[in-house]
Structure 1
Amino acid sequence: MKTVLQQLVNYARYHRDPRNIRTHFIGIPMIVLAVAGLLARPALAGVSLAHLVVALLVLYYLWLSQRAYWALGLCMALFMLLALWGGLRLAALPQVTWLSWSLGLFVLGWLFQFVGHVYEGRKPAFVDDLVGLVIGPLFVVAEWLFLLGVLGELQRQIDAQAGAVRRREHRPLPH
């Protein structure tokens, strides 16, 4: 099993363009919410497939983030619980409304993802490794934390191994 650093480095290699990362800030939460909504219906004895998937993912993220990166694991747990809460709210809507919102968020979220990868000029990470579908939300939460100045050492290690996020050069306008 790969460590959190190995997983994030592998994923980061597909995400070095800041425009791509920004599209993921929008697209991945939309997809996670949509999947939670789709899996929240139907429920058996008040427990849906969304509950089970979120519980397994939270356990995986906590296990992956153990020791040095516990803050990341806790933030992932919060992110996933918020997605579950939102998914359950979607599932409580009338069937056509629930399905329209869930599928709409799913499609729109993937549209953001693919636009980002056009900027990146590289295929999405999950094409080479399906685990990328689970690491995507972890990457987004890690990037949020990096922007907040948290987990700087993890960010430095990722940048050292995957390459720094590309910054656009400011070129003077031609005269």
Structure 2
Amino acid sequence: MKTLIDHLGQYAEYHRDRRNIATHFVGIPMIVLAVAVLLSRPGFEAFGLWLSPAALVSLLSARFYFRLDGAYGLVMAMVLLLCLWVGAGLAVQSTALWLGVGLALFVVGWIIQFVGHHYEGRKPAFVDDLSGLIVGPLFVLAELGFLMGLRREVERAVEERAGPTCIREKKAAV
């Protein structure tokens, strides 16, 4: 299994432009929430919990994150629990509301992602490796931590592999 640095470094290679990273701070949370909402049906309540495909996907995702890093795994599990809570609340609403919110979050989140990749001048990481779909939320969490001065050793290791972040200017066609 790849390490935390392997995953974050590979993902970071596709995300060095600060504008692209900024769009990911908005787009990826929207997509994660959208998936939780859309997968919250069908579901049923048991022991005070809403059990649905979203719960299974979140459980498997949290396991993946914990295997990479305990601290990141804990924070990602809390984020996923929050998304499950929102998803469960919407799953019991009308189909129009549940589906409308889920699809709107999903579509707008992806539009924001593709705007960021326009700035980057590079395709999204998941195009070359589907693991980018699960690493993306972890990357956003890690980048947020880096901005707060946390996990400097992880930041240095990621930058050793992918290079520093910057604002890339598109070169004019000659």
- State the one-letter code of the partner of 1:109: G
- CA–CA separation in structure 2 for the residues paired with 1:90 and 1:44: 13
Q: SS in structure 2 opposite 1:42?
A: coil
> Is 1:50 aligned to residue 54 of structure 2?
yes
Gaps of 5+ in 2: 170-174
* Cα distance in 2, alignment partners of residues 113 and 93 from structure 1: 28
Q: How does 1:138-149 map to 2 (within 5 A)?
A: 138-149=138-149
Residue 62 of structure 1 corresponds to 66
**CA-CA distance at 1:92 after TM superposition:** 2.4
Please provide the CA RMSD for this pair: 1.4
Moved over 3 A (4+): none
TM-score, normalised relative to structure 2: 0.91
1:40-97 per-position Cα deviation (integer Å, ceiling 9, x unaligned): 01114541001111011111100111xxxx2212111111111111211221221101
- TM-score, length basis structure 1: 0.90
- The C-alpha deviation readout for 1:95-152, integer Å capped at 9, x for no partner, is 1011011000000000000000000000000000001000000100111111111111
Correspondences of 1:22-171 after superposition (within 5 Å) = 22-44=22-44, 46=46, 47-65=51-69, 70-167=70-167
Identity of aligned residues (%): 56
Query: Conserved in 1, the CA contact under 8 Å of 2:11 and 2:139?
Result: yes
The one-letter amino acid paired with 2:105 is L
Aligned counterpart, 2:172: none
Instruction: Return 5+ residue gaps in structure 1 as ranges.
Output: 170-175
Return the alpha-carbon distance in structure 2 between the equivalents of residues 126 and 168 of structure 1. Answer: 21
* Equivalences, count: 165
